[in-house]
Amino acid sequence: MASKATSPRFGSDRGSPGPRHVAIIMDGNGRWAKKRMLPRVAGHKAGVEAVRRTVRSARELGIECLTLYAFSSENWKRPEQEIVDLTGLLKHFIRADLDEFHENGVRLRVIGDYRAFEPGAVALIDEALARTRDNKGSTLVIALNYGAQDELARAARTLAQQAVRGEIDPNIIAPGHISALLDTVDLPPLDLLIRTSGEQRLSNFLLWQCAYAELYFTDRLWPDFDHDALVEAIGNFRSRERRFGGL
């Protein structure tokens, strides 16, 4: 397995098989804590450390865009205290890591309706987005209060409204019209989706964008995900032949 010192860079050179854009469903924090007889919040704290490791590794490996599924639109069903804990960890992560991101040219993006969070978290997110908006290095995308079905429904409503106003002929609506209305419109096409913890489902994440993405599932729980795990996933991606429907 490649070590940190010898790992190649992925996706940074023209003509490279990539991936340029990697997304991760970060799953397994609760099970990680349960195995150690710790409270769930301990698993979430360990998960934040895994985020730090993965963001740094992605940058070192030359990945252009990394998207992390941090909080789904369905996660509001969780106990109130867990939501409070997750929000607090999000705020701590931004405060602790924003300077490092900015110094390394990382542009932060959020997909989903993050304004549903409490005002203090919203203010910190706004500050982070504004501060890093013009950075030209890699892009870190955090999915907050995000659901792919809602994203697609919003795009469909917009197209329906445009058709009612006579701005578009519904008979010419094509996939490109939908893609242009998604939260990810300014991001590279998704190449690789990773899900940790052994689960093999998309959980309402980037459903449209996954149309031709490669899927990679690992039994490793998210708090245990590290540089070598990312290199392994990318190596698996690079071993596949991507035909995009052709021969």
pLDDT at 194 (0 to 100): 98
150 is catalytic: no
- The answer to the question of whether 222 is labelled as a binding residue is no
Given the residues 75, 135, 204, 236, the one annotated as active site:
75
Which two three-digit tokens encode residue 223? 């708090």
pLDDT at 12 (0 to 100): 41
Q: The whole model's pTM is what?
A: 0.90
> CA 227 to CA 5: how far, in whole Å?
11
- The answer to the question of whether 73 is labelled as a binding residue is yes
Residue 48: burial class (beta carbons within 10 Å; 0-12, 13-18, 19+): buried
Backbone angles phi, psi at 195, to 5 degrees: -125, 130
> CA 221 to CA 210: how far, in whole Å?
22
- The answer to the question of whether 198 is labelled as a binding residue is no
- The answer to the question of whether 208 is labelled as a binding residue is no
171 is catalytic: no
pLDDT tens digits in sequence order for the chain, 247 residues long: 334 444 455 544 433 478 999 999 999 999 999 999 999 999 999 999 999 999 999 999 999 999 999 999 999 999 999 999 999 999 999 999 999 999 999 999 999 999 999 999 999 999 999 999 999 999 999 999 999 999 999 999 999 999 999 999 999 999 999 999 999 999 999 999 999 999 999 999 999 999 999 999 999 999 999 999 999 999 999 998 877 766 5
Given the residues 27, 97, 183, 191, the one annotated as active site:
27
Domains of the chain, CATH where assigned: 21-238 (3.40.1180.10)
- The answer to the question of whether 109 is labelled as a binding residue is no
